[in-house]
Amino acid sequence: MHKFVIKGGQPLKGRVRISGSKNASLPIIFASILTERAVIENVPDLRDTRTAISLLMDMGFDARFSKNKLEVVRTGNVKTEADYELVRTMRASVLTLGPLLARFGKARVSLPGGCAIGARPVDLHLKALSRLGAEIKIEHGYINAVAPDGLKGAEVVFDFPTVGGTENLLMAAVLAKGKTVIRNAAKEPEIVDLARSLKKAGACIEGEGTDTIEVVGTDSIGEIEYAVMPDRIEAGTFIACVAAAGGEIVIEEFPGDTLEAVVDKFREAGVSVEKLGDGVVSVKRDGRLRGTDITTEVYPGFPTDMQAQFMAAMCLAEGVSVIRETIFENRFQHVLELQRLGADIKIDGNTAVVRGVDRLIGAKVMATDLRASASLVVAGLAAENTTEIYRIYHLERGYENLDRKLSELGAEIKKEKSEKPY
């Protein structure tokens, strides 16, 4: 087990390049199931992307991954199963369901358990795939799905614009017979990236990025060759780091206008974010931050994946910040740990009230989930003395070389072996 040791108080300075998007890579990696060969570039080297690749190899695909380039080739028979062990480590494995059903007419995928941030059911995924003709049974913790006559296009209205549900349905519809209309679809940029990768391979998709996506199924699609978009949540996390630690950095490979809600809120709080060119922005904080309220929403609202990092930055702001989490039911695990650093935060249901304090003091803290661990890094950079963050395997699921990138910006952060059994 490893921990991060951060000596806070160093303002950040320099340039950082954002890696490819985890949440765009995962569905595009699983879209490889739909075709004979896929070459995907700018795939971040993370625990989660490596889990996805292991899952494809376990199914019988040949996969080679080096220097952020992944090549997946179908070599022979495919085991249309995603077993518990792999799904347990990464819930997004449920995104194999749509492609397996569409390509092979059957799938046996372990039900993903809940996770630290909530129950995270997949009922909307299953309801949508049933609308395309899949016969789905839940047995012994597995989703057993068959589509003996293949999937047939249909109109599907999501009760909630689920990101994963939209991705699963989109990949299934690409090879379904006839037309599928997805209403109340999620509009996240990662879905647009998935659609672009499929369209490049010959899929007929319109409307991605809006709440209505239309797909005309084809018998097959060609090879996928695609470079994944930059990770907008990593970019937002670096803005939070500057907001907390101060200084001035330049972010390269900034993902265009996919972070407007986050940039607006940090500007409101007193951080300056200036566009220097295509995909290049400068981020600077010199004065004290002002307390700023956020409510997490589906895209293009403030993303839930930036809530914890924003909260960490607001702990030292002047005044009060009211933070409402509306997407997940239990996404305040980071509050208890931030309080250990001296933060003044009160939780009332899905709302956290942060009262800015003059200083945070380093302490030993525990990561509980991916974005909670990022928020502890943000706070540790601003805290006096030393902060030790245990269980950083949570963080390494979704951030590529974060400690190295921050060290290159002048932060005093080191990854060390943990002296504890965690």
Residues tagged active-site: 115
In angstroms, the CA 405 to CA 421 distance is 27
Cβ proximity to ligand EPZ: between 10 and 304 the closer is 304
Contact 334, 325 (CB under 8 A): no
Least distance from C-beta 376 to ligand EPZ, angstroms? 14
Least distance from C-beta 204 to ligand EPZ, angstroms? 24
Q: For residue 121, state whether it binds ligand EPZ (rule: CB under 6 A).
A: yes
- The window from 159-167, 250-258, 337-345, 402-410 that contacts ligand EPZ (CB under 6 A) reads 159-167
Q: For residue 125, state whether it binds ligand EPZ (rule: CB under 6 A).
A: yes
Which positions from 296 through 315 interact with ligand EPZ, judged by CB under 6 A? 304-305
State which of residues 16, 52, 87, 163 lies at the interface with ligand EPZ (CB under 6 A). Answer: 163
Q: For residue 164, state whether it binds ligand EPZ (rule: CB under 6 A).
A: yes
State which of residues 57, 64, 69, 123 lies at the interface with ligand EPZ (CB under 6 A). Answer: 123
- CA of 258: how far to CAs of 18, 252, 261, in Å? 14, 14, 8
Which positions from 317 through 356 interact with ligand EPZ, judged by CB under 6 A? 327-328
- The window from 52-60, 76-84, 122-130, 280-288 that contacts ligand EPZ (CB under 6 A) reads 122-130
Q: For residue 120, state whether it binds ligand EPZ (rule: CB under 6 A).
A: yes
Q: For residue 398, state whether it binds ligand EPZ (rule: CB under 6 A).
A: yes
- The window from 56-64, 115-123, 240-248, 249-257 that contacts ligand EPZ (CB under 6 A) reads 115-123
Cβ proximity to ligand EPZ: between 23 and 387 the closer is 23
Q: For residue 165, state whether it binds ligand EPZ (rule: CB under 6 A).
A: yes
Contact 359, 316 (CB under 8 A): yes
Pick the closest to residue 327 from 200, 160, 112, 116 (CA basis): 160
Cβ proximity to ligand EPZ: between 22 and 391 the closer is 22
Least distance from C-beta 143 to ligand EPZ, angstroms? 12
State which of residues 3, 74, 371, 394 lies at the interface with ligand EPZ (CB under 6 A). Answer: 371
Q: For residue 162, state whether it binds ligand EPZ (rule: CB under 6 A).
A: yes
- The window from 75-83, 160-168, 176-184, 194-202 that contacts ligand EPZ (CB under 6 A) reads 160-168
Least distance from C-beta 30 to ligand EPZ, angstroms? 10
Cβ proximity to ligand EPZ: between 9 and 118 the closer is 118
Q: For residue 114, state whether it binds ligand EPZ (rule: CB under 6 A).
A: no
Cβ proximity to ligand EPZ: between 205 and 233 the closer is 233
Chain residues that interact with ligand EPZ, rule: CB under 6 A: 22-23, 26, 92, 118, 120-125, 160, 162-165, 186, 304-305, 327-328, 370-371, 398
